[in-house]
Amino acid sequence: MELLKQRIREEGHVLGDKVLKVDSFLNHQIDPVLMMEVGEEFARRFADAGVTKILTIESSGIAAAMTAALKMDVKVVFARKKKSALMNEEVYMTKVHSFTKNETNEVTVLKKFLGANEKVLIIDDFLANGEAAMGLAHLVEQAGSEVVGIGIVIEKAFQDGGKRLRQHGFKVESLARIAAFTDGQVQFVEECVQA
């Protein structure tokens, strides 16, 4: 998605050889116009998947998931990293380790919002090691539903999450795929490789 890559080039900050900060438009400050474009692109890429529900994880996945849900005319559920005191009902739970935050969260979703026989599109802001996406897929599996796709805003293709998810058979669509950070610059995976 060229518009997204352009914003990453203009506003992204590379830290070391693994970290990209895009907190000016994606995961702290949010540019709602860009997010609408992102949602539209997800809707286009998964138009034939028969999506009935979108699943994401708080907090940074919510904006992109919501705009995609709007365009696809479905509802979105965000899994919680911390169980709310109000969630006194049955949940599906899985553990997700965050390397960025160096912590493991018990990620939950209320059973009543993730029924059986749904065709679920998982959406998240970043894909690195694939921990979050695998965790969300595990919740969908527990519910007896099917993951029909995984939509990622930015994939760090030099880490193994994408490979792991694709080997698992998931259709993964990433709107920007990063091959490497070279001298503080973002190198994107060539489009021809992406196909």
69 binds its own copies (CB under 8 A): yes
Q: Is 125 left (phi over 0), alpha (psi -120 to 50) or beta?
A: alpha
Minimum distance between the CB of residue 138 and its own copies, rounded to whole angstroms? Answer: 18
Stretch that binds its own copies, among 31-39, 130-138, 141-149, 172-180 (CB under 8 A): 31-39
Are the C-beta atoms of residues 105 and 81 closer than 8 Å to each other? yes
Residue for token pair 């760090």: 156
Whether 88 has a binding-site annotation, put simply, is no
Residue ranges in 70-99 that form contacts with its own copies under rule CB under 8 A:
70, 73, 75-78, 80, 82, 84-87
Q: Cβ–Cβ contacts within 10 Å for residue 24, how many?
A: 15
Q: Compute the distance between CA of residue 4 and CA of residue 79 in angstroms, rounded to an integer.
A: 25
Burial degree of 84 (CB within 10 A; 0-12, 13-18, 19+) = exposed
| Residue of 17, 19, 95, 115 that binds its own copies (CB under 8 A) | 19
> Given candidates 28, 44, 97, 166, which one binds its own copies under the rule CB under 8 A?
28
Closest to its own copies by CB, 38 vs 165, is: 38
Does the footprint of its own copies cover residue 182 (CB under 8 A)?
Answer: no
| Residues 179, 41 contacting (CB under 8 angstroms) | no
Question: The tokens 């029909």 sit on which residue?
Answer: 148
- Which residues 6+ apart lie within 8 Å of 143 measured at CB? 92, 111, 114, 115, 116, 118
Phi and psi at 106, nearest 5°, equal: -90, 105
CB of 191 to its own copies, least distance (A): 28
Kindly indicate which of the ranges 23-31, 143-151, 154-162, 180-188 contains the residues binding its own copies, using the contact rule CB under 8 A. 23-31
Task: Decide if residue 159 touches its own copies (CB under 8 A).
Answer: no
Is 102 part of any known ligand binding site?
Answer: no
Q: Which residues are annotated as a binding site for xanthine?
A: 20, 27, 156
Chain contacts with its own copies (rule: CB under 8 A):
15, 19, 21, 23-25, 28-33, 35-36, 58-59, 62-63, 66-67, 69-70, 73, 75-78, 80, 82, 84-87, 100-102, 109-110, 113
